[in-house]
Structure 1
C-alpha cells in the first residue's frame, strides 16, 4: 500500500467534496490550517459541525515560513443557497488580510492581528437546503500583493464572492485549506 502524506490526504479530501474545482484549483499545500471553535469543535477536512457551535469567531493557527510574511484568510460557502442550486456561490463569511507570519496562534478578528475586511458571519444555511461546505483558505501575500485590494473593504454584498478571482487580483498564493459541513434541517 502506498504511503499517503498529509498534503496528499488534504488534496484527496478537497477533490472528493468538490472544493477543488468549485472554489479553488489544485495547489501545493505548504501549511496545515488549524481552525477551532473551542470545546473540541475542530475543523477537520470535511467533518460535520453544528450550526450553533460555529457562530462565534474561531481560533485559527498555522505554521509560517517567516515572521516577516503576511497572510490573508478567507472563509466562504460555495453552496449558497444550496449545493444543488448555488446561484449565490460563494457566500463570503470572513476575510482578514495582513496577518503577521510571526503569530503562530491568532484571532484575525482582532485588528492588531490583521485587517478585517469582512467581519465574521457564522454559518446560516437555509433550512432544508442540505449540508453546506464552509471553506477556510489561507493565502500568503507574495511580493507583488496589491495592498489596495487587501486593505479596501469589500462592501456589504457577501453573495457571489469568488475567492479564486479575489486571490488572483490581489496576487495571493494559496498555502492552506480546511473545511467543514453544517446544515439546518
Structure 2
C-alpha cells in the first residue's frame, strides 16, 4: 500500500527525480503524470483519472529538485472531498528524438482537454511513450470537520 500523507504535506509540488538504471550517464528525459483514479469519490470515480500534474523533459540521474523539467499542467495538490484517494505517479521515458517533448501546440491540446477524465494510457499512446518506466503512489484522506 502507498504511504498515507496529509493534504498539507502534499500541497506543494514535490522534489522529483528519476534514476535511469540502464545507464549512469544517460541523457534520457522523462514525463511524469500524477493523477487521482478515485475522483471525486472512491465509491463513484466519475472524474477519474483526475490530472494533478504533467511534467515533461525531466532529466534522468540528477538530484531530485523542485522545479526540474517543464510543468505542462501545473501541480495541484490533493484535496479529496470524501474518502481516501490514491495519487498515482507514472514516469515514462521520452523518445530520444523529441526535444523538447511537447511543442507549445501539443501543450495547448493537453490543457484544452482539462484535468477531469484524463487518460494516462491514451496520452502515452498519442505521444509514443509506451509503458511506464516507473510508478508509485500515495494516499490522502479527506479532512474531517
TM-align CA RMSD = 2.2
Matches within 5 A, 1:55-94: 55-64=11-20, 65=23, 66-94=25-53
Are 1:117 and 2:72 an aligned pair? yes
2 CA distance for matches of 1:139 and 1:81? 26
Which of 115, 134, 139 matches 1:176? Answer: 134
| 8 Å contact kept, 1:131–1:181 | yes
* TM-score, structure 1 normalization: 0.66
Gaps of 5+ in 1: 1-44
Moved over 3 A (4+): 143-151
SS of the aligned residue for 1:98 comes to strand
Task: State the match for 1:162 in structure 2.
Answer: 119
Task: State the match for 1:152 in structure 2.
Answer: 107
1 CA distance for matches of 2:29 and 2:135? 16
* TM-score, structure 2 normalization: 0.82
SS of the aligned residue for 1:152 comes to helix
Give the count of matched residue pairs.
Answer: 135
